[in-house]
Structure 1
Amino acid sequence: MNALGRHILAEIYGCSADMLNNADIIEKCMVEAALRAGAEVREVAFHKFSPQGVSGVVVISESHLTIHTWPELGYAAVDVFTCGDTVNPWDACNYLGEMLKAKDMTATEVKRGIFNEPVKVANY
């Protein structure tokens, strides 16, 4: 079985509310997570909500990393989607858990674009 990509869906709990509410810290952690996973960072966009919370995306050559934070709950939802064999999305997730000082993290890996046979393309 071959897959085009690996998509990690991470639930990160028990994090510092101050960290989760700081867009600069979240952005730096996300970019560093991408680099530690072996990815090539292309673009970065983050938004600080009022009164609290941060959402952001790090676009990488191999796909993307996203985060949405709920500081009042100490919770962050993180997606790390990578394509190819050179990037390890688990390295990014584990780094984020450490940096956010998580008390708990659960994560699930989903294989994306699973192909058991060569793709047949119809001519139109």
Structure 2
Amino acid sequence: MSQFLKLVPPAPAPEEGPLDHFVEDGERIYAGRHLTIDLYGASDLTDQSRMEQAFRDCVTACGATLLHLHVHTFLPSGGLSGVAVLAESHISVHTWPEAAYAAFDVFMCGDAEPERAVDILAQAFSATAVEVGTHYRGADIKQHLPK
């Protein structure tokens, strides 16, 4: 165990009610859904304003709250890396325009619906193929709560 983990005690268990922003779906309690979205055959992957607008459209459609948005352009390729920091977590991207490929992470907790970002991103960048993976973050949270 790291020294940091030894020094920082876990948060106390709530006395009543649900865990803050955790999702309960009848089968499990988890922090949120983390989608990995790979776009292939994508275009406009060097367009910073298009990326920023796509992030904003995702935030709105998913029912999330935007706190901060930053997109950086790498030269000479024009590839982008960006992050939208959300009250519910984040959306991030790295693009490889020379390969027409973009890798997005969309992680949201609470009532947000990260799956709504898939079609928005695919359409914004005219992807010819999309692969989506879903991971339930904190799916074992009940086992690790302080007693």
Tell whether the structures are fold-level matches, with TM greater than 0.5.
yes
Residue of structure 1 equivalent to 2:103: 77
Matched residues in 2 for 1:38 and 1:63: separation?
Answer: 12
Matched residues in 2 for 1:21 and 1:30: separation?
Answer: 14
Residue of structure 1 equivalent to 2:118: 93
Matched residues in 2 for 1:20 and 1:118: separation?
Answer: 41
Matched residues in 1 for 2:129 and 2:37: separation?
Answer: 10
Of structures 1 and 2, the one scoring higher in RCO (CA 8 A, sep 6+) is: 1
Shift of 1:29: 0.8
Structure exhibiting the larger radius of gyration computed from Cα positions? 2
Question: In structure 2, the residue corresponding to 1:39 is in which secondary structure?
Answer: coil
Partners of 1:80 and 1:93 within 8 A in 2: no
Partners of 2:33 and 2:109 within 8 A in 1: yes
Is 1:14 equivalent to 2:14 in the alignment? no
Gapped regions of structure 2 (runs ≥ 5): 1-27
TM-score of the two chains, using structure 1 as the length reference: 0.90
Matched residues in 2 for 1:71 and 1:34: separation?
Answer: 24
Gapped regions of structure 1 (runs ≥ 5): none
Query: Residue type of the partner of 1:49?
Result: F
After the TM superposition, list the runs of 4 or more consecutive aligned residues in structure 1 that deviate by more than 2 angstroms.
115-118
CA RMSD of aligned residues (A): 1.3
Is 1:2 equivalent to 2:29 in the alignment? yes
Residue of structure 2 equivalent to 1:66: 92
Aligned residues: 118
Identity of aligned residues (%): 34
Matched residues in 2 for 1:12 and 1:45: separation?
Answer: 20
Partners of 2:50 and 2:124 within 8 A in 1: no
TM-score of the two chains, using structure 2 as the length reference: 0.76
